[in-house]
Amino acid sequence: MSEEMLKIYGELLRQINKVYESYTEQVKRLNSMWSDYKTAVSNVKRNWDVDNVLLMLRINELKASIDSIREELDMLKVKKELGLIDDDEYSKSSAELTDTLTKLTSMYDDAKSKLDEVDRGIKEHWFRSMDVTTLTTDQVDGMIRELEDNRAKGEIPDDIYVRIRADLELIKRVVQALALIKAESKA
């Protein structure tokens, strides 16, 4: 009987070892994929921080043009009220400026919407990749200090600094909230 039991439990142990090896390999693959994902997200976020600043400069130029056209429309109204231009010239110029304003505003809204969408998507992945459940406020403070040091050395442009600082402050608030939740769940 003991021979039979050893045989049965020996077979059970072989099955357990086979399942164990399978799952440890799968966990290793998951860890590798997670590492690759975090690296990819970090690279995309770094590139986006630079590209976004450049694109926002262009969008701000477009916004300034829109504001300029609005001012021209206001000036045109004043000129008409003062009798400096006739009704025909006012109507023609006003229609042309209004048409341009409408088209530029549509371009601005479309471009801004696309940048905001990309920004939200990248931040979503960035926050996921940060694994904030393992971060401490001290670690985030260290990241902020490192960012400050790099800015002081002139290694980071101001626009990028502002974006990254805001992101780190948001992460810090999330880490602080998680710490409170953990503390409450222990109590």
DSSP string, 56-114: HHHHHHHHHHHHHHHHHHHHHHHHHHTTSS-HHHHHHHHHHHHHHHHHHHHHHHHHHHH
**158 domain-assigned:** yes
Q: What percent of the chain has pLDDT over 70?
A: 99
* Gyration radius of the chain over CA positions: 30
Per residue in 11-28, pLDDT tens?
999 999 999 999 999 999
pLDDT band at 1 (very low <50, low <70, confident <90, very high): low
pTM, two decimal places? 0.66
Residue 109 lies in a domain: no
Domain count, the chain: 1
Whether 152 is in a domain gets the answer yes
Q: Is residue 45 in a domain?
A: no
Residue 67: the pLDDT is: 97
More confident residue, 2 or 109: 109
Which has the minimum average pLDDT: 14-23, 125-134, 146-155, 159-168? 125-134
- Asked if residue 139 is part of any domain, the answer here is yes
Q: Does residue 17 fall inside a structural domain?
A: no
Asked, for residue 156, whether it belongs to a domain, the answer is yes
Burial letters 172-186, b for 16+ CB under 10 A, else e? bebbeebeeeeeeee
Q: Which domain covers residue 164, as residue numbers?
A: 131-187
In-domain check, residue 115: no
pLDDT in tens, 74-102: 999 999 999 999 999 999 999 999 999 99
pLDDT for 53: 87
The model's pLDDT over 23-42, given as tens digits with 9 standing for 90+, comes to 999 999 999 999 999 999 99
